[in-house]
Chains A and B, each alone.
Chain A
């Protein structure tokens, strides 16, 4: 008797509590799984600033389902193992959307973890929004329905860079492809070679070198000189980019560099006048659409304390896409149905200061305008407290920047 009474009481309690929970929709939880400590933290913290900024905007606009969106922060400790752990933690704390961007190695882990979670937990899916992992395979062989990339990739970066430099008449006939020997560098090199016929230049030589190990680039600079190159196209980042440019300037070499990551904070400050006259293709420049952009720049600064640079604008724009998708989704009894959000996000477009950005349904790669820019003293906004900054040379519209869907992407759609 005693037990039955107890059991009946418990069931009644559970019913009451369940009803109470249903009456109020659960707030949407978004988890940022970024590198927030250790040597790679500087980039991770930029993603965090940008995500916090735009989530603030989403909440100012009413949040989701009448509740403010909650941001959970997880430190992936810089590697895939920590990321796998934090993705699980995020999901068990009720996150419906996972954000990450600072490393393709981590992105590869997160996208697979999300895919497997969704396979095993049908009806309780989560979304992964890749804010900056630019490796081609993330929208190629590893593409899946719940992964969305809001940053450009190697193909977009290289082709827009070459187009912009070509139209500005600074590309020259002889191009040298100098890249780091791993998947990213290989992607950049392949795309450079593939564009040569279209734009009518010759790739005089291709070099793949060790990643972040070389201290002296002068032998490589000599090869550039011997090959008679007008332009060096490189996907190098961090030290490999700085040391290469410095070695070229030290040898008095008269070539232009076309790069992907020259705007990383610290690069211009470190390179100084060596960086002047080199090129970059990125999804943002503060001098494009001056009125709207200046308002965005100042607003961002008033919230975070600094002007947006490097990955921050792209991250904000990616979050705008998410915001646009959230506006299309009706909250259900237990908060957000991630499958609905995926449908909305596939067709989402957002108006950014740089123009309209959109998500492509076929491989979930964002289609966004790219700006080819040159390092110059004439820039309105200076980088790293130097007298240099980035001057836009050519704005490439989202439609022109678009690159074909990779054949390796076989996306399985639900239903």
Chain B
């Protein structure tokens, strides 16, 4: 880092061992799962909120950008320090401060690993439903900053629905405290909704108060197999029309199933057009009837086959296949673009068709997974970042895909966030007014544009 006096002030603030400036160290904080990367000038690892405050004040005074980072598992580029400056690594904030069973909530530091928190609350018969794919690695702070969702989103909602309050350090170093343990809170503007999903552009979370619910008694799993995707889509709608809300409705297309079977054979019907993994949870008395009922609905709507898991082992087998999807894709190509374009549920067949047509047009491989309950599709583009010509085609296909989704009344991102790569589409969805409102909020809180710059909002020159 050029500014030696800033480095020494940072060292005083957080301890010499918690300021990293060697090239080897900077490289290790320059990337995330997207192909983007940029070296920071220093990595700072604070241990408490006072240290974060000091770091932010120092950085703000020096005009140095700050990029907060949880576990670096996002797939939007949001933790890459694209303008250099500091990476603020939050993993030392790893304490679960309190699990309050009387008020069904928990107070945690932002660096707690999602899965560790879930297993702690589940041991007490409680449930924290948000389940992003990276939950074994991701931090709760990162989940809140990106408003992460997951397969259970259809029934249980996303991270935002479980944030009751938080403590955050603002770009200028002031501490903002919002909400608390009460479920009801209409005091003033809803700042929780504003900051959740702000991707580190408005400040950095240090402490979270999270809502918990009782852990469902039991669950049942099935796989519905379809010869055409319209029947799959009809079935999903019919299940919901029958007033059953499954926990998950996970869609896998033929190409996804073929890849899974190639790398981790688990008996998926690769000759079918699509399969939907359906899980219901709830009371032990109700769940067995619901799963049967869903089976009947799917059959009526044209399912070729219904596989209801009778034992936990059978349920695990179905889930193992679905969970192998990502690794099978990762083994088949060196670079993955995992998108999360989301459309109204009724538009799923149309979106699937559009994606297949784009894959053919641009000669790229795009297996599709999706959370069909909430219209959140995951087209996964298999490519190689070292082939510029192919990447060019990939980017054109992505442009067209987003255009099509927006035309269907959809949105750019269901659960991953905007980060870097989707910044250029923001105005397509929000219009100039929408972008302008967001920009004014950003300017009010971060007038020097130092907090995770380059993310979420296009700079004025980019328009």
* A, B from the same assembly: no
